[in-house]
Amino acid sequence: MVDLLSIAIAQCMVTFCLVYLRMQSVNRSLMKPPRHFRDKLLKVIEKGGSLGDMFHSWKVGSVRRELLLRAKDVRNFTNEKDAGLLDIMMKDTKEKENIIQSLKHDEKSGRILFGFFHPYCNAGGGGEKVLWKAVETTLRFDPNIVVVIYTGDCDATGEQILGSVRNRFDYELDASRISFIFLKYRKLVDSKTWPHFTLLGQAFGSIVLSIEAILKCPPDIWCDSMGYPFGYPWVWHLLRIPIITYTHFPVISSDMLNKLAHQQRTFRVILKGFYWRLFMKYYKHVGSFITIACTNSSWTNDHISRIWTQCRTHVIFPPCSTEKLVHYEKEGDLPAKRKNQAVVLAQFRPEKRHRLIIEEYAKYLKTAQYDDVPKLIFIGSTRSDEDRQYIKDLKVLALDKLKIPQERFEIMPDLPYEDIKKMLWSSTYGINAMWNEHFGIAVVEYIAGGLIPIVHGSAGPLFDIVIDNVGFFFLDPSDPDYKETSSILGFGTLCDAFKEVSYLKDKDKKKLSDIAIRIALTKFSDSRFDEKWIDHVLSKVNNKNTH
């Protein structure tokens, strides 16, 4: 159990250190390599050794930065698996000579280090798809940009991570301009580390992780593409660089506070409300350090624009590779040729509500004619043994407890991207059950692939994606806001939606599919993301002194 007093003391100590460091102009020291660093580096390169033996630990980051600015292949200077920085470079004779000449003549390449802070970059979800498309666009925009990925995926190598990106998202990246900086303290942002006062604990953890990142390699531009805003003041005070944020959902929102206000005013509720309001005040404060704020949907943008009033926010819909998904439709794959199956494309996590889908599907089976019942197929990525156990539990629920026939239910985890596309092209329906899915990349992939979406009537799917009557919505009594929304929206349950789509004729399916594809190409293509990312981000921060 986390001791709240210990956390408070730690926060005070960290704040004191920040004030002291700021007074000492540390922001200049962290970026500036130590005196005579070139002579020391040449000695390390020519005679062997490691940077840790030659420089103080808090200066190693500035030296690594110099190497990244000079190297032709920045993969040589990762801190992968705690290897010495020069171990790989010593094997590359050509790169070694390049670095030696650059140091002797003090030649700099004019490069910019664009840092992406994404501690779970290898998770394989929608947020990671945004990250890697942003990386691809950024590298293509300016050949002088070097991308630094700050990640806590210490169980994988940089090469393995990029291979996973290629398999899952079909993105080919210039690996010679991508350097991975591995962070040791990712567990501090894991909610499991903080069973009590989770928001406060994760905020503290994100501060520690941000400081660890900039000490290991200070960038010229900081981009948080995952949503850890409490490190922004530290990045700004220590480095004075532009800060970009791509927010998938607010850490705390007015909705949370409003719901708390309607609960019975017990001492616990009053204390929680005070805690949340204080947290919201600090959340608003960190917005003052942001240079450019981007959000993934109208729902998220509405909340963030009310919180971070100091900066203008931009909606940049996630890249959904709709061009690649629609291409097969043009080759003649018509809905009439599709199999009668419903796909659920989502990471195997409880918040995706796979259990709800299974339970509602089982209810539907009790009243449906089996010839008309679509087969239910779950596909998605796993991140850990816990996710794989989650899959086993879903199978027990579906096959053993609810007695769904085995030929009507299948789980296919960790499929390559090409196989996912084929599954979408051969199916008829796509299901998304997450409550308040802030955007919903999977839903876009459904409509781009010509599927008929059956989705929860909230947030991104409701406001941004399933428009012009191209799909079907549902609600569920287990939704936190069911009492307020059910009377207003009038949607039925998922079981009701299953019954409704069973009456669709082939011509109706074809009409819905055509409209959906047009929406997908217009709003959610990779090329559209490119345009928005360049317009709102890259064109404004190409000069690293933007802030």
* Helix 60-70 with 37-47: angle, nearest 10 deg: 80
Q: What phi and psi, each to the nearest 5 degrees, are found at residue 115?
A: -90, 125
The pLDDT of 423-448, averaged and rounded, is: 92
CA–CA separation, 250 and 221 (whole Å)? 22
Cα–Cα nearest to 310, from 286, 331, 336:
286
309 assigned to some structural domain = yes
Higher pLDDT, 523 or 14: 523
SS3 helix, strand, coil % of the chain, rounded to 5?
Answer: 55, 10, 30
Summarised one tens digit per residue, pLDDT across range 265-280 is: 777 777 877 888 888 8
Is 90 exceeded by the pLDDT of residue 260? no
Does 387 share its domain with 442?
A: yes
529 assigned to some structural domain = no
Does 166 share its domain with 310?
A: yes
Domain end call among 109, 126, 152 = 109
Domain end call among 109, 129, 154 = 109
Does 314 share its domain with 169?
A: yes
Number of C-beta neighbours around residue 23 at 10 A: 8
Does 177 share its domain with 304?
A: yes
Does 301 share its domain with 439?
A: no
| Buried/exposed code over 463-476 (b: 16+ C-beta within 10 A; e: otherwise) | ebbbeeebbbbbbb
Amino acid 495 reads C
CA–CA separation, 317 and 298 (whole Å)? 9
Does 439 share its domain with 466?
A: yes
Is 80 exceeded by the pLDDT of residue 28? no
Tokens of 279: 């947290």
518 assigned to some structural domain = yes
Does 351 share its domain with 370?
A: yes
The total number of structural domains that make up the chain = 3
Tokens of 33: 């390599």
Tokens of 265: 């005013």
Q: What is the pLDDT of residue 75?
A: 85
Domain end call among 109, 138, 153 = 109
The CATH number of whichever domain residue 217 belongs to comes to 3.40.50
Does 53 share its domain with 123?
A: no
546 assigned to some structural domain = no
Q: What is the pLDDT of residue 161?
A: 95
142 assigned to some structural domain = yes
Does 193 share its domain with 291?
A: yes
54 assigned to some structural domain = yes
DSSP 414-475: S--HHHHHHHHHH-SEEEE--TT-SS-HHHHHHHHTTPEEEEESSHHIIIIIS-TT-SEEE-
Summarised one tens digit per residue, pLDDT across range 176-215 is: 999 999 999 999 999 889 988 888 899 999 999 999 999 9
Does 170 share its domain with 22?
A: yes
Domain hosting 375: range is: 322-524
Alpha helices, H only, 85-197: 93-104, 126-141, 158-169
256 assigned to some structural domain = yes
The pLDDT of 277-289, averaged and rounded, is: 91
Is 90 exceeded by the pLDDT of residue 33? no
547 assigned to some structural domain = no
Does 518 share its domain with 395?
A: yes
Confidence at 23, pLDDT banded by 50, 70, 90: very low
Does 342 share its domain with 216?
A: no
Higher pLDDT, 394 or 83: 394
Kindly report the average pLDDT of the chain as a whole number: 86
